[in-house]
Structure 1
Amino acid sequence: MAFTINTEGARLRTPKGQQHQNGSAKAPSPTSPTSSANEHPMGAPKHGPGMQALRIVCFGIYFFGSGIFIHFAQLLGSPLYFVSKDWFYAYMALTKQYFGLLVTTMTQWWSPTVVRISGDKSMKGLIKLKDNGGGNGMLEVDFGERVVLMSNHQIYTDWLYLWWIAYTSTPPMHGHLYIILKESLKWVPLIGPAMQFYSFIFMARKWSKDQQRLRYRLQKLNSRHSGPLSGTQGGVQLDPMWLLIFPEGTNLSANTRKSSAKFAEKSSIPDMKHQILPRSTGLQFCLQELKDTVPYLYDCTIAYEGIPPGDYGQDVFTLRSVYFQGRPPKSVNMHWRRFAIKDIPFNDHDAMYEWILQRWREKDELIGEFMRTGKFPADAEGVTDEGGKEEQRYINTEVKPRSPLEFLAMFTPVLGAALVGRVSVQMVDRLTGK
């Protein structure tokens, strides 16, 4: 599932086919990883059919079972909206933390892989691998409590790793992540209502309609509140917020690459080699609305090791191959940069488009270097490894919770309510002599 925004309208859809990542046509070949399940770039499945079936069952029970518990927890807290909106939003932030725990543990158990973090000089002191002893450090980022976060969109699971980054924040921000996503997801059973409780921003991909909706949501994120959500004791301040946007509007695929190439040709601008052209309208509007309350825009360039040249991550790293067959990426690579919002030309449409286009060309060069060497070019000041014996340019870690039992918190609201209900019924029975 991809949570994305396209503020320039729906992209052209083209017949499904394969292309090189530079946009040229590519015919399936006998050695293409997408031509045969047995010739996957990650090799043969780690698990046989029987184990795959067992993993599917266990995955379904854990993901959907936990999701039901989380959604029931949301429903239990919904009456708070009519009592105190501050308490309501604080409670929903708690349930959003539960979902962050769900995707974190789900990835750790079913799709463990190396996550390699790097950054440039603008990230100095903001990304650390804490030394917990025994070589079992925990990633810790210090991006602040109110940021706009943008990223390229490689495959459907990008949002999952970015949600985990919010989990590693100090203080943890996985309960305050807001994602801009397409409106059709609003009506997905169970997931759609849960995302509405999370105050995610749904977009119809028609800017004439989306502008007012986006302004309304951003104004609410700019509103000042008091109470537990804001972290104040009777005072009033802005709520924590990480706003996630994918300026490309959709993930990288053969169809979207072809659409990007057509748009580039029509606009007389050079196309990207390893991604699709970004749009600037949505990001520009977000920065205009949040400029007085958010100091920095954080940019993540994400890439997955193991995708052959000319193929696409969504075709190589499917749900089946990653979670059930035991063929995750060799590594998930994230390169971080930070930009002061005051230095971004968000009040000039043309200048803003040129600014984001330049950032994407830099990303294209970063991804090109990654494809040649297996790593992003990184600055020694970009990350800090407290357990490293010498200067490190990369942090190698994994998606994991702080405690192996932390996931149990997801079940406490519903189980607690069930226990209270049972005790209440027993007390009533005793009082009434039944």
Structure 2
Amino acid sequence: MTGWNRVLKFWVIFVIATLNINLVQIFSSPFKLISKSIYTSIIDYSKASFSKFLVILLNLQGNGSVVRVYNPVTVQPQSVIFSNHQLYTDWIYIWTLLYKLESNADHLIIILKHSLKHIPILGWGMQFFNFIFLRRSWAVDNKTLSNQLHQISANSNPYTLLLFPEGTTISNDSRPKSNNFTKKIGVEDFHHLLYPRVTGLLHSLRSLSHNPNLQVIDSTLAYPDIPPGVYGQDWYTLKNTFLRRISPDIIHLHMSSWKLCDIPIHSDDLFTSWLLQRWHEKEQRLRVFQESHTLDPSGKYQDIPLNLTHPLAHTLDAFIYFVPIILEFASQAAQPTRVTSSNCTTTHLGLDDEFTESHCSAVNSRLFVVAATMTEVFISQFLSLGDNFSEEIAIFLVCLVFSTSKVFLEKAHSVSSAVLLRRGALGIALFKNLVMCLHGAFLIHMAIHLALLVVEHAYCLLEVRVL
């Protein structure tokens, strides 16, 4: 697979999935005023869908990973996980592990840096997920953290709070800052870790202390095959992980668990000592890992592959059955009367017909290539179903999904791309054209694949008769 094709596949599948999730979140907004429980259920479903989509992303390039869990523990309905921070994908691996363990993947709340809040599509979705965004200034973050933790603790609903006390990954920028801080307070810095920030974790635990049996999990992450002298974040970058097939085959994760009542959160000094003790234990584990590639010298662990538990159902869940995009297109069907040019349909809005026709033709021709690539991704996803479904059943189900959506899309086609562009809805215009092209490309791919299946079966029958 060429590099550009791999990049194209990733971005098309990423944008379509995240757009579906964003749309279902937006559609659910009125329920926030009508029924908070219904709204919360929809958001939790979108959160679970995103966790499944992350699993698909990790396997999209054919380089699936395994999480090797040392001292595995059962994640309780209400829990806090704190971890060391080596890669920008640490939170992805922990979230997908929760999905595999069927433990609160739909109730995860992550504390992230504030700059991620405004990333188009992804950042918007994280805001709907009720993730907590901090500016790394306690004067500002104190109020933000207190308010959102109060909402979490106001009821008995399940949740898992994930945070990274180091505040950032280890890098050429963060390592000197940690060294300078430890020199300032007169302590020795860690070699494999950054010095932890106590305030955020302590404040979180105190805010959730109404439940004395709250589970607190210490997670230690380690990654193999990082060259000497290179930081993990510089080797397993986002680009390398998702576009270049350079990702860890095995994610090593050690778990330790406490009840909140056994942690000295009543005293700043005692809690600081407790957390530093955890960090010294992490440092020792990572030192052992560097020498023997294990976080537990006893060798006891459980390997958990990061794949979809139910491939077909959860793939459809990840894309929310394409319903949000279909509804968005269908909602545009009721439009004013229109006139038809030779190649493109337009609405009376004083728009130049020549521009409209050329624009629609250009968009459709370019997006046909994207659609063809996209169908290849979906075919590969749906046909890798393991032993639960045959290829023929998978093809039939995929065709059924696209055929059902075609009715809505034909109605949506009455709205021209030019009209949508005139209204400023560039994203909707592009996706409308993409999905319309998708049908043609999909039918071509399906026809070829079915023809190959027929030839294969015919060859097998002929070979049996000859024998």
Q: TM-score, normalised by structure 1?
A: 0.72
Task: Please point out which of 67, 76, 87 is paired with 1:155.
Answer: 87
For residue 67 of structure 2, what is the amino acid of its counterpart?
A: V
* Amino-acid identity (%): 31
Residues in 1 aligned to 2:129 and 2:304: alpha-carbon distance in whole angstroms: 29
For residue 360 of structure 1, the aligned residue among 262, 279, 282 is: 279
| Correspondence list, 1:18-417, <5 A | 51-110=2-61, 111-119=63-71, 123=72, 126=73, 142-170=74-102, 172-224=103-155, 238-293=156-211, 295-377=214-296, 393-405=300-312, 406-409=314-317, 410-412=319-321, 413-414=323-324, 417=327
Question: Where in structure 2 are there 5+ consecutive unaligned residues?
Answer: 336-406, 408-467
**Following the alignment from structure 1 to structure 2, what is the Cα–Cα distance between the partners of residues 219 and 320?**
37
Counterpart CA distance in 2 for 1:271 and 1:312 is 17
Q: By how many angstroms is 1:342 displaced?
A: 0.9
Matched letter for residue 184 of structure 1: S
Q: Distance in 1 between matches of 2:139 and 2:97?
A: 33
Per-residue CA deviations over 1:167-210 (Å, capped at 9, x if unaligned) read: 1234x411110011112222222222211111111112111221
Paired with 1:359 and 1:256, the residues of 2 have a C-alpha distance of 20
Q: Offset at 1:323? A: 2.5
Higher mean Cα deviation, 50-59 or 296-305?
50-59
Q: Distance in 1 between matches of 2:229 and 2:200?
A: 29
Higher relative contact order (CA 8 A, sep 6+): 1
Deviation at 1:291, TM superposition (A): 1.6
Task: Report the alpha carbon displacement of residue 325 of structure 1 after superposing the two structures with TM.
Answer: 2.4
Alpha-carbon distance between aligned partners in 2 of 1:314 and 1:69, rounded to the nearest angstrom: 30
Which of the pair is proportionally richer in helix?
A: 2
1:248-297, Cα deviation, whole Å (9 max, x unpaired): 00011122111111111111111101111101111101111112225210
Q: What secondary structure, in the 3-state scheme, does the structure 2 residue paired with 1:78 have?
A: coil
Larger gyration radius, structure 1 or structure 2: 2
Q: Partners of 1:339 and 1:287 in 2: how far apart?
A: 12
Distance 1:258 1:199 in 2: 33
8 Å contact kept, 1:279–1:353? no
**What does the per-residue CA deviation read over 1:40-68, in whole Å, with 9 as the maximum and x for residues that have no partner?**
xxxxxxxxxx6222111101111111111
SS of the residue aligned with 2:88? coil
* Aligned AA (1:399): L
CA distance in 2, matches of 1:106, 1:378: 32
CA contact (8 A) 2:89 2:238 kept: no
Q: 1:329 to 1:424 in 2, by over 3 A?
A: same
The alpha carbon displacement at 1:420 in A equals: 8.0
Contact 2:182–2:189 (Cα < 8 Å) also in 1: yes
Unaligned runs of 5+ in 1: 1-49, 127-141, 225-237, 381-392, 427-434
Q: Tell me by how many angstroms 1:109 deviates.
A: 2.3
Letter in 2 for 1:113: S
SS in 1 for 2:173: helix
Whether the 8 Å contact between 1:378 and 1:394 is mirrored in structure 2 is: no
